[in-house]
Amino acid sequence: MNTSLLLPIIPLAAYLLGSIPFGLLFTRLFGAGDVRESGSGNIGATNVARVAGPVPALLTLLFDFAKGAVPVWMAASVSNRSATWMMIAALAALAGHCFPIWLRFRGGKGVATAAGAFLVLCPAALLGSVILFLIVLFFWRYVSLASISAAAAMPLLIYLLWAPHHAPPMIITFGALAAAVIIVYKHDANIQRLAQGEEPKFSFGKKRDPA
């Protein structure tokens, strides 16, 4: 089969895969009810950890990560590693997670899904962002602040670490900027709580604090 015929399907497939609400599914599977009705109402791993505990949170994290990585890997396979199609798949998966059609476009904040996508696009940049995430989390213990910092740094990390002595294609640069904007936008409530000194610090446990 001519793989080029699959290219137009990539955005839709990536969006639908990204829109699977694993946080909601795992929270219900582990008997903790609807994660949207507890804590912050967010379906991401942080709120799942507080509502249902570390095991469903870890599963949510892994599956949300995979639904970013798999579409980009598939796009790379059928497009001969076209940066354009890989970034289209990455943004479509991120949009699916953040604005899922199944949940009336009210989804998660996109950090794990973006991380999975950028693992395929530029592993070195992802490593740099993970290190930054851990540093911020260690010193300040705010998952939201660590996530915002890592997302905001990704476009620069991509630019610096794409390839030795080579800048990334423009689609990668602007795609990384778009991903960062989406993630920061989805953290709007967290930013307001951080500014007001009301953002809860993270710990694994079944707390009902916002996340």
The predicted pLDDT at position 206 comes to 46
Residues of the chain with pLDDT under 50: 204-211
The predicted pLDDT at position 110 comes to 97
Torsion of CA 83, 87, 89, 90, to 10 degrees: 140
The predicted pLDDT at position 210 comes to 47
Q: What is the DSSP string of 43-58?
A: -SHHHHHHHH-HHHHH
The predicted pLDDT at position 2 comes to 63
The predicted pLDDT at position 6 comes to 82
User: Could you give the C-alpha distances from 149 to 49, 100, 174, in angstroms and in order?
Assistant: 21, 24, 18
User: Model pTM?
Assistant: 0.93
For the segment 92-137, what is each residue's pLDDT rounded down to a tens digit? 999 999 999 999 999 999 999 999 999 999 999 999 999 999 999 9
Picking from 176, 137, 130, the residue whose alpha carbon sits closest to that of residue 154 is: 176
The predicted pLDDT at position 143 comes to 92
Check residue 141 and report its DSSP letter: -
Residue 115 three-state SS:
helix
